[in-house]
């Protein structure tokens, strides 16, 4: 099992350009990635769909299926399934 460390896991942005992976033996490796702003990209994608410039990446059926999986997880965690 590996441990991944991300400084700001819930607030990624352009300054997030990598992450560290720590192996069981303690060796830490830094993996460089391209920084981005996922919140801005989400809004830009939404605006493109609203303008009719592109189709949604996921269908309404995909969203319903994802919510059903979330409901199954919630029910399993509560011991109902």
CA angle, corner 50, sides to 46 and 56, nearest 5?
A: 60
pLDDT of residue 31: 83
CB count in 10 Å sphere of residue 17: 13
Structure tokens at 29: 């490796």
- Nearest residue to 6 via CA among 24, 31, 42: 31
pLDDT string in tens for the chain (81-residue length): 666 665 565 666 787 787 788 887 888 888 887 778 888 888 999 999 999 999 998 899 999 999 999 999 999 988 865
Threshold 0.75, pTM exceeds: no
């Amino acid at each position: 099992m590996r441990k991944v460390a991300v400084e700001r896991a819930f607030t990624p942005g352009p300054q997030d350009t990598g992450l560290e992976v720590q192996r069981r033996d303690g060796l830490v490796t830094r993996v460089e990635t391209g920084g981005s702003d996922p919140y801005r990209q989400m809004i830009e994608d939404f605006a493109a769909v609203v303008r009719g410039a592109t189709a949604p990446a996921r269908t309404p059926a995909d969203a319903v299926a994802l919510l059903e999986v979330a409901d199954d997880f919630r029910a399993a965690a509560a011991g109902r399934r």
